Amino acid sequence: MTCDNGFEGSSRRSFIAGTGSILGAVALGGLGSAAARASTSITDAAVIPALVIGTGYGGSVAALRLAQAGVDVHMVEMGMAWDTPGADGKIFANTTTPDQRSFWLRTKTKQPLSNFLGFPIDKAIPRYTGVLDAEEFAGITVYQGRGVGGGSLVNGGMAVTPKREYFGGVLPTVNPDEMYNTYYPRANAELGASLIRSAWFESTEAYQYARVGRKHAQRSNFPYVFVPTVYDWNYMEREAAGTVPKSALVGEILYGNNYGKKSLQKTYLAKVRATGRVTISPLHRVVSVTPASGGGYTVFIEQLNTNGDPIATKQITAAKVFFAAGSVGTSKLLVKLKATGALPNLNGEVGKGWGDNGNVMCGRANHMWDPTGKLQSSIPTLGIDNWAAGGAFAEVAPLPTGIETYASFYLSITRTPNRAQFSWNAAAGKVDLNWQTAWKEVSINAAKSIFDKINAKEGTIYRTDLFGVYKIWGDHLTYHPLGGAILNKATDNYGRLHGYPGLYVIDGSLIPGSTVVNPFVTITALAERNIEKIIATDL
């Protein structure tokens, strides 16, 4: 039997029994009602069983599994819904023609590659709640997705499972058997990860840049791997054949893909919506969480306009709160809430253990007889694996400029011991991160273990025009923020925050600074593991 608040009879009873007085209010017709579920945004004074902060990988996994277990869920997302086309008929802007949709609250683009042939390429754009946030801390710019789908909206779609032999260094307190037998396969299946068709890779103009990258790796005796992605490869082949609108093959990526990429909107979040138990509030930002007098937690939320300004504040009560605001978002919230007295009992591990996954970028200048192609698919699919010998895994990345650049471009993920800490800056009223740019030296040296050798073999040099004037290394940024609420330190071994029953962390902030490869499959698999335990024992 389904009650009008949406709970199936038996699961409703057990959920109420397990979670205390606040759920009495839910049963009496709080936000769990069908009408409320159909509304587009959360209402002030709502009383709900479960709130998920953020709609990226961790948040989407949590919402889906909770809803499937019979729990009504509300998701709050500070970015936009990204479900409505702009004036050009497209939801997302192209990488080569950034506009207001491209960046989160900036008046000038901040492209990861800031220069080309020595000239700055950033340009003025209207301030808007755009999809890519280049969040600046003192020593590093952290790129993140903003909107329903989180990082899946803007990322390269590389769906990489770390080699099992390295897993102990990634998540030392997690049983590898359960991850590799159950949760990695589950995450990869739900995300729709798959490999490029070999014959097409070998023949298409769009991956000439990757074939050149492979050839250079081979000639210097580096192992290379094809990595799965969440792009629909059949769609990309049809793009190449000219039978469908193009996305990867016209360079769409950093500011969103209009077609072809299986972002969370098409995978986990499509299933979330199909449960009928989850509402999602875009342009809503959580600013505080504190224990409620009657049990559960009071959550303060600001509703934003597309200029990023608060237009309403809402105060709701949730029995359980899942922090899934991403490594930076969750860490900033927890550090602020501990320091300002909203959640004073959080332990001293909160804010610690943050890392950049060793990200560093570089380009190499090839010879005129080694062109990388003017048509480059924006979805990388090949990696050079020198982790064992040199501590670097380099993805052969595209430079989808539409012209022949004679450049090979790489994003390296490297082994680095450096970890930073978030702290509350009371005077400025914000959270700081004590990362130092000089810490990237380790990562540069690891990347050099690959590219110095390739350059020597090929008789080539590094590009010096992509990150400034005469600057070789893109060492000012990360795409892969990880940590800040480390598993089994700030939380227990399943993401339950110490000091506050009913508060959970379920995103990249649980992972201590490195996943050895690109992170979203590990974030998803860990979330699947943790939510299964939480549903079994806490609800």
Chain residues that interact with ligand FAE, rule: CB under 6 A: 53-58, 76-79, 143-147, 150-151, 154-158, 254, 285-286, 324-327, 329, 333, 479-480, 507-508, 518-520, 523
Of the residues 77, 190, 252, 395, only one is catalytic, namely 395
Query: What minimum distance in Å lies between the beta carbon of 142 and ligand FAE?
Result: 8
Q: Give whichever of 23 and 50 is closer to ligand FAE, judged by the CB atom.
A: 50
Residue with the two structure tokens 């950034």: 98
Do residues 104 and 126 make contact, with C-beta atoms less than 8 angstroms apart?
A: no
Please state, in angstroms and rounded to a whole number, the distance separating the CA atoms of residues 102 and 106.
Answer: 9
Query: What minimum distance in Å lies between the beta carbon of 302 and ligand FAE?
Result: 9
Question: Nearest 5°: CA angle at 194, between 193 and 195?
Answer: 140
Classified as helix, coil or strand, 462 is strand
Identify whether 395 is a catalytic site residue: yes
Query: What minimum distance in Å lies between the beta carbon of 504 and ligand FAE?
Result: 13
Please state, in angstroms and rounded to a whole number, the distance separating the CA atoms of residues 273 and 268.
Answer: 9
Of the residues 135, 480, 528, 532, only one is catalytic, namely 480
Q: Give whichever of 22 and 413 is closer to ligand FAE, judged by the CB atom.
A: 413
Element (DSSP H or E) covering residue 422? strand 422-425
Burial of 293 (0-12, 13-18, 19+ CB in 10 A): exposed
Amino acid type, 438:
A
Please state, in angstroms and rounded to a whole number, the distance separating the CA atoms of residues 221 and 210.
Answer: 16
Query: What minimum distance in Å lies between the beta carbon of 115 and ligand FAE?
Result: 18
Q: Give whichever of 400 and 508 is closer to ligand FAE, judged by the CB atom.
A: 508
Query: What minimum distance in Å lies between the beta carbon of 413 and ligand FAE?
Result: 10
Q: Give whichever of 67 and 154 is closer to ligand FAE, judged by the CB atom.
A: 154
Q: Give whichever of 122 and 370 is closer to ligand FAE, judged by the CB atom.
A: 122
Residue 469's CB is within 10 A of a number of other CB atoms, namely: 10
Identify whether 480 is a catalytic site residue: yes
Do residues 262 and 231 make contact, with C-beta atoms less than 8 angstroms apart?
A: yes
Angle between helices 184-191 and 268-275 (to 10 degrees): 80
Q: How crowded is the C-beta side of 47, counted as CA atoms within 13 Å?
A: 15
Q: Give whichever of 296 and 329 is closer to ligand FAE, judged by the CB atom.
A: 329
Amino acid type, 381:
T
Query: What minimum distance in Å lies between the beta carbon of 333 and ligand FAE?
Result: 6
Please state, in angstroms and rounded to a whole number, the distance separating the CA atoms of residues 421 and 201.
Answer: 42
Query: What minimum distance in Å lies between the beta carbon of 17 and ligand FAE?
Result: 30
Residue 98 token pair: 């950034």
Burial of 32 (0-12, 13-18, 19+ CB in 10 A): buried
Residue with the two structure tokens 């789908």: 149
Do residues 219 and 453 make contact, with C-beta atoms less than 8 angstroms apart?
A: no
Query: What minimum distance in Å lies between the beta carbon of 38 and ligand FAE?
Result: 21
Do residues 507 and 166 make contact, with C-beta atoms less than 8 angstroms apart?
A: no
Residue 42's CB is within 10 A of a number of other CB atoms, namely: 24
Residue 158 token pair: 């590389």
Q: Give whichever of 78 and 321 is closer to ligand FAE, judged by the CB atom.
A: 78
Q: Give whichever of 475 and 507 is closer to ligand FAE, judged by the CB atom.
A: 507
Please state, in angstroms and rounded to a whole number, the distance separating the CA atoms of residues 530 and 533.
Answer: 5
Residues 6+ apart with CB under 8 A from 80: 129, 131, 146, 147, 148, 282, 283, 306
Active site positions, annotated: 395, 480
